[in-house]
């Protein structure tokens, strides 16, 4: 029997998300069309957006649907950096923690290599936790040059939860927008966008029982974001492209389910983890946790 354990890489789809997606795939309609089929599709997208907003503590209008976490991270890093510098040319420093996923690190490095920005890698301790003092020192010295800060909510490899409250509070004193990649936090921790004080937050469908290839950037109302994809002006004109109705519906079902059952899921997982650790320790006494 194969036991699949790598839910940090991708999760099995939730049967309700599969059912919603399959049902929607059999329907036709571009949510941007003005005729009946389009309006019906638009309603499904807007209901999905409402449900995502409710599950994530955000207003529906703050949910920008994307084709996955990587795209949402790119939109956050490039979109915030460009928009911030356009307003104030001194703001060229892009601050990211040293343990970000490549979907954050690589766009930051790309901005430095191609767009005249500077990347500042914020150090972490031996548990992968952000050194908040180092961020405070960076902001004290160069706060007026910071374009954005991106620190992930929870780490995809070792699970470290970052001190976002402290990051948000420090950033606020220097007028710097904060983005968090919450791809690994949703369904594991309480994620409330409004309460977090974040300006932008990334989520992804396939880490919570939804499909691969759909995600969202939750972006505070009024946040200046320069689009990465140009075209038909969908999604508040920051993410052009026909909205994938079936995926929107499926991610909404999956996120709602993951958030609703988070506590029982966590309890079950903790039990499984403890049993696994105990089993390994019994069989391999020299194993290091
Ligand atoms: C923390 C984190 N951010 C971003 C991503 C990328 O998300 P997606 O696979 O939806 O592009 C992942 C997936 O591996 C992740 O773990």
What's the alpha-carbon Rg for the chain, to the nearest Å?
Answer: 20
Arithmetic mean of pLDDT, 20-37? 97
Return the ligand 1 atom nearest residue 73 CA: 4
For a mutational test of ligand 1's pocket, the pick from 70, 73, 180, 250, i.e. the residue with the most ligand atoms closer than 8 A to its C-beta, is 70
DSSP state of 32: T
- Predicted confidence (pLDDT) at residue 68 exceeds the cutoff of 90: yes
- Predicted confidence (pLDDT) at residue 62 exceeds the cutoff of 90: yes
| Residue 286 placed within a domain | no
Write the DSSP string, 63-99: EEEESSHHHHHHHHHHHHHHHHHHH-TT--EEEEETT
Return the ligand 1 atom nearest residue 71 CA: 11
Joined tokens for residue 38: 């389009």
pLDDT band at 289 (very low <50, low <70, confident <90, very high): confident
| Residue 3 placed within a domain | no
| Residue 6 placed within a domain | no
Arithmetic mean of pLDDT, 1-11? 92
Residue 250 has a CB neighbour count (10 Å cut-off) of 30
For ligand 1, atom 14, the nearest C-alpha belongs to 9
Q: What's the pLDDT at 273?
A: 92
Residue 226, helix vs strand vs coil: coil
| Residue 1 placed within a domain | no
- Predicted confidence (pLDDT) at residue 142 exceeds the cutoff of 90: yes
For a mutational test of ligand 1's pocket, the pick from 96, 152, 156, i.e. the residue with the most ligand atoms closer than 8 A to its C-beta, is 156
181-200 in b/e burial notation, b at 16+ Cβ within 10 A?
bbbbbbbbeebebeebebbb
Please list the residues that pair with 203 across neighbouring strands.
Answer: 216
Q: What's the pLDDT at 170?
A: 98
| Residue 273 placed within a domain | no
Q: Give the integer Cα–Cα distance in Å for 251 and 233.
A: 22
- What separation in Å is there between the alpha carbon of 202 and the centre of ligand 1? 9
| Residue 22 placed within a domain | yes
On the 0-12 / 13-18 / 19+ scale of CB atoms within 10 A, 106 is middle
Quote the domain boundaries for residue 222: 15-266
- Range with lowest mean pLDDT among 2-6, 60-64, 226-230, 248-252: 2-6
Q: Give the integer Cα–Cα distance in Å for 187 and 208.
A: 6
The pLDDT mean for the chain works out to 97
Residue 183, helix vs strand vs coil: coil
Residues 193 and 218 sit within 8 Å (Cβ to Cβ): yes
| Residue 280 placed within a domain | no
**Residues lining ligand 1, Cβ inside 6 A:** 68-70, 73, 101, 103, 152, 156, 181, 183-184, 204, 206, 215
- What separation in Å is there between the alpha carbon of 158 and the centre of ligand 1? 14
For ligand 1, atom 7, the nearest C-alpha belongs to 69
| Residue 161 placed within a domain | yes
Arithmetic mean of pLDDT, 127-153? 98
For the chain, what is the domain count?
1
- Predicted confidence (pLDDT) at residue 30 exceeds the cutoff of 90: yes
Segment 190-203, tens digit of pLDDT = 999 999 999 999 99
Provide the terminal-to-terminal Cα distance of the chain, rounded to the nearest Å. 26
């Amino acid at each position: 029997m194969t036991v699949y354990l790598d839910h940090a890489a991708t999760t099995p789809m939730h049967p309700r998300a599969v059912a919603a997606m399959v049902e929607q795939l059999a329907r036709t309609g571009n949510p941007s069309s003005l005729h009946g089929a389009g309006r019906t599709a638009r309603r499904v997208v807007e209901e999905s957006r409402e449900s995502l907003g409710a599950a994530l503590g955000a207003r529906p209008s703050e949910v920008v649907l994307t084709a996955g976490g990587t795209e949402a991270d790119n939109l956050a890093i490039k979109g915030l950096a460009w928009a911030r510098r356009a307003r104030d040319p001194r703001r060229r420093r892009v601050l990211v923690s040293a343990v970000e996923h490549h979907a954050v690190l690589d766009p930051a490095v790309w901005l430095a290599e191609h767009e005249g920005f500077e990347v500042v890698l914020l150090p972490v301790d031996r548990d992968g936790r952000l050194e908040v003092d180092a961020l405070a020192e960076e902001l004290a010295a160069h706060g007026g040059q910071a374009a954005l800060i991106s620190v992930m909510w929870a780490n995809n490899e070792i699970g470290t939860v970052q001190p976002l409250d402290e990051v948000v509070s420090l950033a606020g004193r220097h007028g710097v927008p904060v983005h968090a990649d919450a791809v690994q936090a949703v369904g594991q921790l309480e994620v409330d966008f409004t309460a977090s004080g974040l300006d932008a937050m990334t989520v992804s469908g396939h880490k919570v029982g939804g499909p691969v290839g759909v995600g969202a950037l939750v972006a505070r109302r009024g946040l200046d974001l320069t689009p990465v994809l140009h075209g038909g002006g969908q999604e508040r004109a920051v993410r052009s492209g026909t909205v994938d109705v079936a995926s929107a519906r499926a991610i909404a079902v999956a996120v709602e389910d993951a958030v609703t059952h988070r506590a029982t899921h966590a309890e079950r997982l903790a039990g499984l983890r403890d049993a696994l650790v105990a089993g390994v320790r019994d069989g391999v006494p020299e194993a290091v946790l």
